[in-house]
Amino acid sequence: MSSSDRDLEGSDDSRRKIIIGAAVIAALFIAIIFYFLMRASSGGNVDPTLEGALRPGSTEFDQNIAKVYLDPPEADEAKRALGDIVMNLQTTVRNFTGRTINGLEVRASVVDGEGKPVKQRTVVVIPAKQAELQPNGTMLVVVRLDGMKDTDHRANIKMEITGLKFK
């Protein structure tokens, strides 16, 4: 084998190492960008609020909330590829007020052993999911909570009505 053949083999090896190195650096760069984009998109969520709703503490809310029942909530959880835990909390809302509900806001939370929220989210269910809830009607409410870690102490789940509007 001549020295020029060895030089060609050596240059092929060095080119291969450069290409592999560049591919690894590009993959790391893309992974870092993806990580920061995922963190930025999940960090600044603001829960929606139901405008003009009756709130806890108001006389009309307190009179009617006892007639809007929430079944005990149920939850399922799954671990995502990103490493966080996602929980879906669900309950059935039952309207026994004798009036049509055209606005409903529900807060779902996962709490620790002391009752402090680990993760919570408020959603506007009516009119976002359906237009209204008739008297003696029922509807399923599902709220997704994501971004929890394995180390979070998840002792219980809660769902409560935080806003009501009547037709």
pLDDT in the model for residue 48: 78
Q: What are the CA-CA distances from residue 24 to residues 20, 27, 36, 129 (Å)?
A: 6, 5, 19, 45
CB 141 within 8 A of CB 124: no
Kindly report, residue by residue over 93-150, the tens digit of the pLDDT.
999 999 999 999 999 999 998 989 999 999 999 998 889 999 999 999 999 998 888 8
State the pLDDT confidence band at 37, using cuts at 50, 70 and 90.
Answer: confident
pLDDT in the model for residue 34: 83
pLDDT in the model for residue 92: 97
What value does the mean pLDDT take over residues 34-38?
A: 79
Is the model's pLDDT at 2 over the cut of 80?
no
What value does the mean pLDDT take over residues 25-50?
A: 78
pTM summary value: 0.70
pLDDT in the model for residue 8: 54
What value does the mean pLDDT take over residues 19-42?
A: 85
CB 85 within 8 A of CB 150: yes
CB 54 within 8 A of CB 164: yes
Q: Which two tokens stand for residue 36?
A: 């920061």
Query: Cis peptide leading into 135, omega within 30 of 0?
Result: no
